[in-house]
Amino acid sequence: RLFHRTAKGMLATPIGEIVLARARTILNDLDLLTRDLHASTSGRRGHLHIGAMLSISEMQLAKAIQRTRERQPDMTISIQNGSATALLDLLREHALDLVVARLTDAIDMAGLHHEVLYHQSPRLVASRMTAGQLGRRRLDWGILREMDWVTGPRDTPLRQQINAIFMRSGMAPPEPATECHSPHLIGRIIAANDDAVSILPADVAEDLAPITGMAKI
């Protein structure tokens, strides 16, 4: 028996849950097969479906895609953004071919093969005026803690990295004034608020500084 009939509708049995999980994987495989067949009939070699976190440098990702296209000009590529957890779940379900993400100890990598592509270093960012003021003296994390922090949600690698920096300094992490997933939006919010700060990967901060108007410290 796969389902129980109840007054509120159908509920999967434990065996039904197993079948549903496998069915999702099979359907995703069929979708990928359809994409590959469509690419082949269009004269392409195949299709590559990539999952990418928003906290990955778009410049680095664009260069990697360009190098891939140079080596495989007859391949099509699609990009799906999301959190590391959500993207890795899609990878396990065969909805993605590969994922580019920032890993932490809190992310479950069971059953997945991974390779380190490069290391990201943290960079403090603020509005241009605030960056100029903070850059003229030694950083005081006690003062910084009281500013308006703009961070990723609690379960994101970005937020965990900020928390770790403060804990290593012997302080409780700041409570963010604003939470969002998008580094681009974080940059826009910071550029508009002289009391706001955040920490972004250095390569992402390099990408966003001329676009959003924020500044690196």
Chain segment 21-37, per-residue pLDDT in tens: 888 878 877 877 787 77
Q: With bands split at pLDDT 50, 70 and 90, how would you rate the model's confidence at 179? A: very high
- Over residues 150-156, the mean pLDDT reads 87
How many angstroms separate the CA atoms of 202 and 122, rounded? 5
Of 18-32, 59-73, 170-184, 189-203, minimum mean pLDDT range: 18-32
Check whether 150 has a pLDDT greater than 90: yes
How many angstroms separate the CA atoms of 166 and 169, rounded? 5
Write out the E strands in the chain. Answer: 3-6, 9-12, 46-52, 75-81, 98-100, 122-127, 148-151, 178-179, 196-201, 214-216
> Pick from 126, 206, 112, 119: which is nearest to 157 by CA?
119
Contact 124, 186 (CB under 8 A): no
If one compares 149 and 154, the residue with the highest pLDDT of the two is 149
Q: Which amino acid is at 115?
A: E
8-state DSSP, 176 = P
Question: What whole-number percentage of the chain has pLDDT above 70?
Answer: 98
Predicted pLDDT of residue 106? 72
Check whether 140 has a pLDDT greater than 80: yes
Structure tokens at 125: 């960012």
How many angstroms separate the CA atoms of 139 and 50, rounded? 39
Contact 174, 181 (CB under 8 A): no
Q: With bands split at pLDDT 50, 70 and 90, how would you rate the model's confidence at 48? A: confident
Q: With bands split at pLDDT 50, 70 and 90, how would you rate the model's confidence at 45? A: low
Question: What whole-number percentage of the chain has pLDDT above 90?
Answer: 40
pTM over 0.75: no
